[in-house]
Structure formats: structure tokens, C-alpha cells
Structure 1
Amino acid sequence: MAELNGVPVELAQIQALALTNYGHFTSMRVDDGRVRGLALHMERLRRDCRTLFGVSLDTERVRALARRALPPAGSTTIRVTIFDPGLDLGRPVSARSPHVLVTSRPAGALPLPPLRVRSTAYTRDIPTVKSIGLFASLHHRRQAQLDGFDDALFIDQDQYVSEGGTWNIGFFDGSRVIWPEAECLVGVTMELLKGTHDHDTAPVRLADVTDMRAAFATNAAIGVRALSSINGVELSESHEVIDLIRKEYTEIEGDVL
């Protein structure tokens, strides 16, 4: 399913999206019509629209358009992409008419198997914006997979851990959950988990991984996914803290879309 402003999308309407790659989005897992952290998703869209296009976004309209993609029951993943089909490469400042593209795909069964990741030095452009510009993230993921890993974990030039390409990372050092203090996109799932489980936010150097007991990735599509290793350093993929955090997350009541 793909609709632009509530109408089946045509190729000509999304050419700007493919050719200019300027816009932002949020992805929501919808279970029986409910979304965990719905208000956070809408706030993200509102904030990023102001940053990229300088205008306000009617999130009630966005919700109405997103509801059109819902199946009668069950789980689905809905992506809401905001872009301006009239964007001119030479005059991006004139892009002030954002449109709403809603697409949907089946939601995968959870939990997903653990991830084996390796570190890669990279910081996303405007990390606080959930940009549609995924080229570098996917390139680093591909390179990691070519080398036998599942995904890439981003670190900065000083070896501090920030995030994965499409997920946040949390650690457990044996006594507390730690979210890296770093320049990254603050995910909705991470924000929800901060409200359900005691934690600290602190810088985490790559060298600190050897002192961690467990690590996990989070986003709206995967929920809480264990990491089994980082750069070959083995971590407990079945640690009780991961089960607890996953349980706390699944018990969060979703809001009606």
C-alpha cells in the first residue's frame, strides 16, 4: 500500500523523492490498531518538518492518512515519509510544501535473532533528524555483512559508541543499563524504555565493551533485539536483563492510531 496525501501514489509524484533524497520519516509498528509511543512519533514528524521545511505539520491529518493503511486486525509496519515533490535542486529553500507519503508492509514476528556487529567510524548528517538519506547507513551495513557480520555499529573519531544505522544501542554492565551519551538519533523505543527501566546515560568507549555483560538494539520495528557480539567480543544473548527489558516494552500499552 502506498498513498500520497490519501491518494494512490503515481510514479511522477515520487520522482523527487528518488532523485533528490530530501525528506524525513518515521516508522511505526501497529498492533491491532495501536502504536507504542504514538505521541513521540508525531512529535518527531512535527519537529523534523520544521527543521527541513520550515513549516508546521498537521499531525492529526497524518494520523488520519496513516489509518487508511491499517489492516482490520493483526500487525503491520507503517512508514510515514514527509517530502516536497516540487523540490528544486538549485533552490531547495523553496521547498515549503511537504506532502505525506504513507506506505505499509507486514510486521515481522518478534523477537528477532541476536545480531553480530562490528564497529565503523561514522556520524550521520544531522543525527537528530530521521532523514530518508540512508545511503551511508546501508553502505556500512553492507560492508559489515560482506565481512561476515550482521550490521554496523557507529563510533565517532574518539572511539565513542553512538548508534547503529537504524537502531539505538543499550548496554548492561552487570548492575545498570547504560545508554550511550553521544550524538545520535533518539529513537522512540529507546525513549519509551527510559521511562520503564532504571538507567544511566554515559559515554561508552569501544574499549568499554569488554566490561559489558549484555547489549541490545532497539527500534520500533524490532523492539528489543539482543547483540551476541561486538567486534568479536562475545556478549550474553540470553541475559535476564534483556528478557526483562523486552517484557517491559511489550507491556507498554499502545495508543489508538
Structure 2
Amino acid sequence: MTTPATSPAPPPPPTSAAPHIEIDGRRAATADDLLVPTLYGGYAHFTAMQVRDGRVRGLPLHLARLDAATQEVFGAGLDGELVRERVRHALDGAGVRDGAVRVYVFRAPEAEAATLMVTVRPPATMPPAPQALMSVPYARPFPHIKHLGGFAQTHYGHIARRAGFDDALLTGPGGVVTEGAITNIAFHDGTSVVWPDAPSLHGITMALLETRLPESGGLPSVRGPVTLDGLAGYRAAFVTNSQGIAPVRRIDDVEFTVDEELMRTVVAVYEATPWDRV
């Protein structure tokens, strides 16, 4: 007598300690699969996105980021449809439709094609509490690329938290403000939202707000030089990344008032951004 076949139980949702990981679309990684990220993991780039019901805000921007960085770093572009298929496959493998997803791009020196690693963790959101930032004298190399190997920015983040701050604020020579350790930062001068005009990563949330704030929020969004000795001239500040937006209450010894009206406008504009299906 033949026992009827049964469908395997879906895998449990990923936990923060054990993300669901797929390499080149394979759910059971082999030793060969792991070789490239293990040996060449410091020479790679990635994008981080929040997925809700199989959708992502600013998905075309994520795909464009991956394609441009792969072209610059490895000399060949990256097909956006392939990335979407790999993300869908990983979400299905994790048994979820909501998650914090990262797409990493590696390539072994002798390989003809890039290796894609997709990780899925539980959804994440920016803590809403106003943040305190400690300025540090560090600027990321090749800041326009969201690359791995960021020991210094990670270490400075730890130093800042040990000193009682929430995170680090990266600065260049002369106290030029560039970006947060894992965020973009913006300031409000009473009229416009000002993003530091300095080498930094053009984050997806930042890019969405730059375009949509003037159109939907009636709030001009500009680039301009920002320095530590000029922080007192701004009324408010906030940070952004793939997890969302949070106000800034202090940078070093400079205190900022949390502008509730500003934050309502910025958050409302961001939350009104359409979600793109993966």
C-alpha cells in the first residue's frame, strides 16, 4: 500500500538570530555556495529593503542601485528581474510576505557572473524616540556605494552608544557633516529641508523624500553645506534609512527641538509613497 504524499510543512518565519539565507536561489546552501561570501565577503555591495505584503517602497531605486554598483565594482550590470525573482523566492522559502530583506552581490575573481545572497529577517522599523548623535571624524570610502567592509563606521557606532548616544554622525575635514553611521541626515532651517552637500550614500528613503517633499508636502528639499560649527543655525533635524525616519534631539552638545509639525509632514509624505510589487 502506497502512503499518500504530503506537502512538507512550511519553514518557520526567520528570527533575528537566524535569518533565512539563500545563495543564487538555493534554499539549502552547499559548502561551494558559501565559499564566495566567506572568502570575498568584504568586497561586496548590497541594498536593504523593508517588504510588506510582497511590496517595497522605491523598488526601482533599489534595483537601479544594485545594477549601478555591480557595473562599477564588477564591470557588468545586474538584471533587475533576476533580483526580483530571487527576493520572491527567498520570501517564499522563509514562508513570509513581510520582512527585512537584504540583497548582497559578491563575485569571485575567476567567476563570470555575480553571486546573489538574499537574507530575510523579521520586519523592522526605526525606533521613534528622538536620537542623540555623536560626531566622529570618519567618512566612508566610495561613499556612493552601499558596500560591505565598514569596520570603522560600525566601531564608531559602538563607541557612540557606549558614550550614551544612539549612534555616530560621520564628518569630514573641517567638521563637514556627511551622513549617519547607518542613516542619512537632514536639517530644517525654518524654510527648507537641507541635506548635507557632501560625499555620502544616496539612501532610498532620502531619495524618495527629496522628490516627494516639494510635490506632496509643500516643503522645499535642497542640498547645502552643513558643518558642526553651524548646527545651531538649524531648527530641527531627522535621520532616515530603510527602516524609516526619526527625529534628532542632539548632536554632541547642540540640542534640537523636535518639530512635531515637520515630522508629521515628513512621515506622512513617506508613508504615502506607493509600494511596488517585488
Normalised by the length of structure 2, the TM-score is 0.84
Unaligned runs of 5+ in 1: 88-93
CA distance in 1, matches of 2:30, 2:261: 48
* Mapping of residues 117-156 of structure 1, within 5 Å: 117-156=133-172
Secondary structure in 1 aligned to 2:84?
helix
Counterpart residue identity of residue 7, structure 1: R
What is residue 34 of structure 2 aligned with on the other side?
Answer: 14
CA distance in 2, matches of 1:62, 1:100: 8
Kindly state the Cα deviation for residue 11 of structure 1 after the two structures are TM-superposed.
4.8
* Mapping of residues 108-123 of structure 1, within 5 Å: 108-109=124-125, 112-123=128-139
Unaligned runs of 5+ in 2: 1-19, 214-219
In the alignment, is residue 237 of structure 1 matched against residue 253 of structure 2? no
Secondary structure in 2 aligned to 1:79?
strand
2:50–2:124 Cα contact (<8 Å) kept: no
2:91–2:97 Cα contact (<8 Å) kept: no
Counterpart residue identity of residue 200, structure 1: V
* Stretch deviating more after TM superposition (143-152 or 11-20): 11-20
In the alignment, is residue 191 of structure 1 matched against residue 214 of structure 2? no
- Seen in structure 2, the aligned counterparts of structure 1 residues 35 and 143 have a Cα distance that, compared at 3 Å, is same
What is residue 50 of structure 1 aligned with on the other side?
Answer: 71
Secondary structure in 2 aligned to 1:189?
helix
Counterpart residue identity of residue 120, structure 1: V
Cα distance per residue 1:138-192 (max 9 Å; x no partner): 0110111121111100110121110011110000112211011000111111010
CA distance in 2, matches of 1:214, 1:120: 20
Pair member with larger Rg:
2
Secondary structure in 1 aligned to 2:212?
coil
In the alignment, is residue 253 of structure 1 matched against residue 274 of structure 2? yes
Give me the identity figure in percent: 36
Kindly state the Cα deviation for residue 207 of structure 1 after the two structures are TM-superposed.
1.3
What is residue 46 of structure 2 aligned with on the other side?
Answer: 25
In the alignment, is residue 5 of structure 1 matched against residue 24 of structure 2? yes
1:214–1:239 Cα contact (<8 Å) kept: no
CA distance in 2, matches of 1:11, 1:81: 18
| CA RMSD in angstroms, aligned pairs only | 1.7
- Seen in structure 2, the aligned counterparts of structure 1 residues 170 and 96 have a Cα distance that, compared at 3 Å, is farther
In the alignment, is residue 81 of structure 1 matched against residue 101 of structure 2? no
Kindly state the Cα deviation for residue 217 of structure 1 after the two structures are TM-superposed.
0.7
What is residue 212 of structure 1 aligned with on the other side?
Answer: 234
What is residue 179 of structure 2 aligned with on the other side?
Answer: 163
CA distance in 2, matches of 1:96, 1:218: 36
Normalised by the length of structure 1, the TM-score is 0.91
2:138–2:172 Cα contact (<8 Å) kept: yes
What is residue 193 of structure 2 aligned with on the other side?
Answer: 177
* Stretch deviating more after TM superposition (225-234 or 186-195): 225-234
